Structures are given as structure tokens and as C-alpha cells.
Chain A
Amino acid sequence: MTAVRRLLTNWLPVYAALYIGFLYLPILLLPVFSFNTSAIPKFPLTGLTLKWYESLPNTPALLDAAWNSLVVGVAASIVSTMLGICAARAMTRYRFAGQRAVSGLIMAPLVLPEIIVAVSLLLVLLQLGLSLSLFTVVLGHVLICVPYSVTVLISGFEGFDRSLEEASADLGETAFGTFRRVTLPMVAPAIISSLLVSFTISLDEFIMAFFLTGTDPTLPVYIWGQLRFAAKLPGVLALGTLLLVGSFILLTFAEIMRRRATRRTQNAGGAFV
């Protein structure tokens, strides 16, 4: 027993380090090669340059794709957050028949094979006679984003003391005034967090976008298209680096907001904190 334990204490940190290296080192290679002068991503590095970044704004197709992604991301994050608010409020405030089943079904897209969902959605949309466009991509992204929105919003809404809203009414405030002065400020950080998380997910999402977009590619679809041309690879690496950094910043900010929301609602309840 002690031998096993000693083995574990000695080798567990090594295993953990290897594991984390395996996860993140490849991602770190992306920015490294994006600053390299050579168009071929291999060691040794040949020199430092910003030319791949400088060429990005001069590619109209890329700018179009970025704009498409922005539109889809904003639309998907707003719709999924609104749906998430309804679901999270229902699940934290009320007890109803089938609650567990409903909450399970909302979370299911997280684990369903995305390609299957994308193909099914494609079939349904075509059957409905809808032509593929950014609108259909938004529909697919909402489906993917809602579970994340609901998770973030539930953690913000949980512990929201109902008597806060009653206290506001008791002090003379109308229903709308109560929403504006109490409910919204309390849950605003959770809502912002949900918007950022859904936007980031939509921005990076490929499979849904690939199947459901018509002639307008989103950024990931554009990147996939560029990979066929070796000469375009450094530009893709530069673009990928920008996406990576942007996502990281957005998600960090989202998590800060989520924690602030949790702290707010949790402090509201008990007398002793």
C-alpha cells in the first residue's frame, strides 16, 4: 500500500505536467509559427515578423467571414441568453412536474454528437423549405449555446431571495421598477457572462456552421477552406492566434462576471454571511 502511495506521490505531478503539456503545447505552437518568417511551419524558426498579421486586413474574403461570424455570434448569444433566462428562472424559482427531465433535455446538446445534430437540423430546415443562410447558422448555434447559457444563468439566479422583490414592492415600487432597480442589477453580471460565453462558442463553432451556412462562410469555415492552400497557412495561423486570444479574454471576463453574480445572490439570503 505504502509503495503504491509513494509511487503516486512521486509520479502524479509528472503525469499532471505531461497531461497539461499534451493539452496546451500544440495550441502554443500556433502563435509561435504565426510570428515566423517562413511560410512552412517547422523548426528551426527562421526569424520574427508581423507580416502575416499585416496581410490579414488586406484579404476581403477574410473580412467578410469575420463580419459574418460577428453577426452570427451576436444574434446567437442574444437569443440563447434570452431563452436561457426563461429556463434558468423557471428552474430556480419554481418546482414543476418533469423538471429533472426538462433540465436534462436542455443540457443534452452538450453531449450529443454535434455532426449528427447538424445533419438532422440540415434535413429539417431543407424539409421546411428554408434556404441555407446565416440565419440557419444562428439557429444551429442557439441550439449549441443554450446549455452553456442556462448553466451560467442558473448559477447567477440560484439563491436569489424572492423577498428582495417583495421588499421593493413593499417600499412602493411598481413591478417594472422592481425589475429595473432590483432584479436586473442583481442578475446583470450573470446575463453578461452568458452573452460572452455564447458569443465565444458561436465564434469558434465549425460543424454547425459548415453544414448550415449557404454561401456566406463564418471564420472557422473560412479557415477550413484556406487550409487547402499551403501558401495561406501562415495567415490562418495568425488569424487563429487572434481568435485564441480573443476567446481567452472573453471567457475570463465571463467567468469574473459569473462569480460576481453568484456572490451577489448568495449574499442576499441569510443573515450571517
Chain B
Amino acid sequence: MIEIAGVTRSYGAFKALDDTSLSIREGEFFSLLGPSGCGKTTLLRMIAGFDTPTSGSIAIDGQPMDGIAANRRPTNMVFQSYAIFPHLNVAQNVAYGLKRLRLDAGEEKRRVEEALAQVSLSGLGSRGATELSGGQRQRVALARALVMRPKVLLLDEPLSALDKKLREQMQVELRRLQQAVGITFVLVTHDQYEALAMSDRIAVMFGGRIAQVAAPKEIYQRPVNRQVADFLGGMNFVKAEIVEESGASIIVETHGFGRVKTDKPQAFVRNGKAATLGIRPERLRVLWDDATSSHQVTGKVVDRHYFGEITHLIVEVPGLEKPLSVSETNNFGADDIPVGAAIRLAYDPDALVAMAD
């Protein structure tokens, strides 16, 4: 649907986007995820036509977009500030783009009402733009874009201005809306939970380059490097040494976890013998009483942090240079484990991921 081929955007010596290629499929919910300044918004604005690549090309639905201005592209955008026209009411905002299509009055009204219904704003058409709450403004911005029936809907951090509860509710609604209308959504966000919760696929970006493109689960569980792993949530990193490398798998030797065989991640580039083994804190499980596991490590609790439904235990394991962070739900009494206690942790070898750096 969207083909981005070798796109670079330079501002003087600074490259906001550096030789980026990406293919976004028809009908998918695609997220560009990364910290501020990673180039995700630049890329989105170039798809919309507000910015021009210094080199490289962008094609939408098979049509090259070089020299095509924003107002002639089959894309519509939901802006971070929503950009609701303050001098127009809700219905006039939604009908803004339709005016150019010169539909007859009944058809225009029908499409406006349909779009308002899609975002649960039926009946608010005559409300003034300045009398809306943050969540309503966001819905108007959505309806105004969807009513144009674009091939691609672009969303620039659409939820960042909402409070936490509303944000979570809108995540679900956006996902539902995308499945209902079936058009390609491209979302820019710096919030990893947002990207994980809504997307079919995610591109993680750092410093103007794409580090990894994959489905949420793959990105979370099989990050290609420590930077991606870190950005998507906490992860324990353990120094490892590569023993054997074959086509699909890799064997590493570590202190603490011993000799581990894992899937070789795509784009694994070997850098000498040193590697890193990663495991997410929630993939380590406390072994109670005399329960045992064929894969376990032993350590001592040195600190703990209580978070209501979960407790973070900081566990020192002999042989590891850094203590392990363990995230355990509180339904078995993890919040009662005292600092200083000796505990055993079980893990699933499939939860271990080898990284080249």
C-alpha cells in the first residue's frame, strides 16, 4: 500500500531520516514507534505530503508521490493538536473536505452523519468547535479525516493529549474503528503500550533509522538489539559468549543461566564472540516451597518495589554482574517476600533472547 524506498531527509548536516525503506500493507494498522527526534513524525509528514524527501521516493497504492502536494494525496491525517477549525461547528468541520467534492446537499449530510456516528458523536453536529472536550475534539478530527474515505489514515500522536483512562479507552476504539473501516492506518507514537495494544505491525525507530519491523509480540519478545528491547519495556541483560551459530538457532554460554540454545533473531549480526542474553522481568517466576523446575536460578532478594497488582523483586544471582529484575504478580504473596530472602527463579528457555550487542 505504501512503499518507502531509500528515503532520506536532511536538514543541513543533520539527517532526520536516513536511507529508510519500508513497506506498509493494505488494511493494516501500522505504528511508527520511537523516542522524540527519531524521525517518525518526519516520515509521517512525508507520507502526508507536508515534507519532501531529500532523496528516495514514496509511493501510495502504486502511485509515486513525487511532486504531488498534500491536497492531492489519497491520505488524511489526524493531527497531534487535532487542528479543529475553531470558527466552524462540528458538522462544518467534518464537511470541510467534502465541500470540494460538490456532492448534493443530501449526500453530504448523510456522509457527515455517518462519519459522526462512526466516532460516537451523533447529534453533536451543531456544537461549536470550542465547546468540546479533549476526547470529543479527537473524535471530530477522526470523523473529519474518515469522511474523506482516504486510502490511508495518518495519525500523529493522536492520544498524547488525553488523560490515561481516556487514552486506554480510545486505544480500543481506534483499533475497533480500523477493523470496521478496513483502511490502512499509520500511527506515530512514542508510547510502547499504545503501539503494542493497537498495531498489526510496528516499526521501531532510533536516530532516523528503522531498527526493527515486526508484529507486536515479536518486537516485544524477540527484539533485535538492546536498544529496541529497552524501549519496549524492562529487560534483564546478561553477558553471554557465542558457542555455536547455525542457520536458525544459536547457542550461548552464560553465567547464571548456563548454556542456552535460542532462536537466532532475524538480522543477527555477529560481532566477535560476545553477545547479550535477554529475559523480560515477568518471564522469571518465583518457585515456592519445594517446587522445582528444570530451568532455574538461585539468588538473594536485595530490594523490592510494590506496585499494587505486582511486585518488582531485585534478585542478586551469583555469577551475574547485575542483579535480575523480577516482576511477579501478588496473588501468591510475592509482596511478602522479605529483602534478604534466598529464592529460586524458574524460567522458560524460550523466553531467552540472544542479541548481538
A and B are partners in one complex rather than unrelated chains:
yes
Spell out A's residues near B (CB within 8 Å).
161, 163-164, 166-174, 177, 181-182, 185-186, 264-265, 267-273
Residues of chain B in range 141-198 having any CB-CB distance to chain A below 8 Å: 144-145, 148, 161-162
CB distance from B38 to the nearest CB of A (A): 20
- Let me know if B69 is at the binding interface, CB within 8 A: yes
**A172 & B130 in contact (Cβ 8 Å cutoff):** no
Cα distance, A269 to B130, chains bound together (Å):
10
Chain B residues within 8 Å of A186, by CB? 86-87
In the complex, per-residue mask of B55-87: 1 if CB is within 8 Å of any chain A CB, else 0: 000000000000001111001110111111111
Count B-side interface residues using an 8 Å CB cutoff.
Answer: 34
Residues of chain B in range 73-132 having any CB-CB distance to chain A below 8 Å: 75-77, 79-87, 96-97, 100-101, 129-130
**B162 & A169 in contact (Cβ 8 Å cutoff):** no
- Let me know if B48 is at the binding interface, CB within 8 A: yes
**A173 & B100 in contact (Cβ 8 Å cutoff):** yes
CB distance from B23 to the nearest CB of A (A): 23
**B70 & A267 in contact (Cβ 8 Å cutoff):** no
CB distance from B70 to the nearest CB of A (A): 5
Chain A residues within 8 Å of B138, by CB? 271
**A267 & B86 in contact (Cβ 8 Å cutoff):** yes
In the complex formed, the residue of A with least CB distance to B94 is A171
Set A167, A172, A264, A272: member contacting B134, Cβ < 8 A: A272
**A167 & B83 in contact (Cβ 8 Å cutoff):** yes
Chain A residues within 8 Å of B86, by CB? 186, 264-265, 267-268
| Max chain B C-beta neighbours (<10 A), residue from A171, A268, A270 | A171
Spell out B's residues near A (CB within 8 Å).
48-50, 69-72, 75-77, 79-87, 96-97, 100-101, 129-130, 133-134, 137-138, 144-145, 148, 161-162
| Max chain A C-beta neighbours (<10 A), residue from B71, B84, B138 | B71
Cα distance, A46 to B104, chains bound together (Å):
71
| Max chain A C-beta neighbours (<10 A), residue from B48, B70, B101 | B70
**A169 & B71 in contact (Cβ 8 Å cutoff):** yes
**B87 & A185 in contact (Cβ 8 Å cutoff):** yes
Chain B residues within 8 Å of A264, by CB? 86-87
Given contacts A169-B70, A170-B70, A272-B134, contact A161 B83 (CB under 8 A): yes
Chain B residues within 8 Å of A164, by CB? 83, 85
Cα distance, A170 to B130, chains bound together (Å):
21
Given contacts A166-B50, A172-B148, contact A267 B71 (CB under 8 A): no
CB distance from B288 to the nearest CB of A (A): 48
**B96 & A168 in contact (Cβ 8 Å cutoff):** yes
Set A169, A265, A271: member contacting B161, Cβ < 8 A: A271
**A163 & B97 in contact (Cβ 8 Å cutoff):** no
Cα distance, A186 to B87, chains bound together (Å):
7
**A163 & B79 in contact (Cβ 8 Å cutoff):** yes
CB distance from A266 to the nearest CB of B (A): 9
Cα distance, A271 to B72, chains bound together (Å):
28
Chain A residues within 8 Å of B75, by CB? 170
CB distance from A190 to the nearest CB of B (A): 13
**A171 & B79 in contact (Cβ 8 Å cutoff):** no
**B76 & A177 in contact (Cβ 8 Å cutoff):** no
**B87 & A166 in contact (Cβ 8 Å cutoff):** no
| Max chain A C-beta neighbours (<10 A), residue from B79, B83, B130, B144 | B83
Cα distance, A174 to B72, chains bound together (Å):
9
**A166 & B79 in contact (Cβ 8 Å cutoff):** yes
CB distance from A95 to the nearest CB of B (A): 15
Given contacts A169-B71, A177-B100, contact A271 B134 (CB under 8 A): yes
Given contacts A173-B97, A177-B100, A268-B83, 19 further A-B contacts (CB under 8 A): A166-B83, A167-B77, A167-B85, A169-B49, A169-B70, A169-B71, A170-B48, A170-B49, A170-B50, A170-B70, A171-B96, A171-B144, A172-B100, A173-B71, A173-B96, A185-B87, A265-B86, A272-B134, A273-B130
Set A161, A168, A173: member contacting B81, Cβ < 8 A: A161
Chain A residues within 8 Å of B137, by CB? 271
CB distance from B264 to the nearest CB of A (A): 43
**B81 & A271 in contact (Cβ 8 Å cutoff):** yes
Chain A residues within 8 Å of B101, by CB? 172
The 7 closest A-B pairs by CB, nearest first: A171-B97, A271-B161, A167-B83, A271-B134, A163-B83, A267-B130, A169-B70
Chain B residues within 8 Å of A269, by CB? 81
Chain B residues within 8 Å of A169, by CB? 49-50, 69-71
Cα distance, A135 to B48, chains bound together (Å):
49
Cα distance, A182 to B100, chains bound together (Å):
14
In the complex formed, the residue of A with least CB distance to B128 is A267
Cα distance, A207 to B83, chains bound together (Å):
47
**A170 & B76 in contact (Cβ 8 Å cutoff):** yes
Cα distance, A269 to B69, chains bound together (Å):
24
Cα distance, A271 to B49, chains bound together (Å):
24
Cα distance, A168 to B137, chains bound together (Å):
16
Chain A residues within 8 Å of B70, by CB? 166, 169-170
